[in-house]
Amino acid sequence: MLAGALALQGDFREHLAIMESLGHRGIEVRTIEELERVDLLLIPGGESTTIGRLATEYDLIEPLRERITEGLPVFGTCAGLIFLAAATTGADQPQLGVLDVVVARNAFGRQVDSFETDLPVAGLDRPVRAVFIRAPWIEKVGSNVETLASVPGPGGTARAVLVRQGTVLAASFHPELTEDDRLHRMAAAMVGDS
């Protein structure tokens, strides 16, 4: 399997290192030709407006949207979640709109409010160590979207932070910054599902 990481901005190298440690080949994706070669796409954390702006400049928005809509498995983390989402609250930025969720950017607060927690995930036997850095949460989940993990929000209302819709997997946090590769394994397994 060839795993590609959208390498416009953010921590794409960390994602590729994990995929390579799992025995998969990895490439950085910056062109339509590179995008066409991959079996799985990883969209990293970073700055979502910058990723969207650069994807627009590189003429990648429509090719990304088409490949994902046609079933290319994709795993987006933090900014990657925002870029995949249908909409964000209070922000106007380029988005792919391939994941039926509405996301609140920086919902957990500023950089100083970043935190780590052990997060139970549906289908996994033990919690995942989740690193939240200026992280979004999901305000609204569409009917075809499965919530795999959530955290308490304001007033105790659960906020989704890990979701899956078909072959689109997205997390509010940064699993690539931990030693736990189970979510990347979950993403790789989607290649067989597509």
User: Looking at the annotation, which residues are catalytic?
Assistant: 78, 174, 176
Distance between CA atoms of residues 100 and 130, nearest Å: 23
Structure tokens at 151: 């955290």
Contacts of 146 (CB under 8 A, 6+ apart): 122, 163, 164, 165
The burial of 183, by beta-carbon neighbours within 10 Å (0-12 exposed, 13-18 middle, 19 or more buried), is given as buried
Phi, psi at 193, each rounded to 5°: -85, -20
Which of 50, 61, 45 is CA-nearest to residue 10? 45
Let me know: does 160 contact 138? Beta carbons within 8 Å.
yes
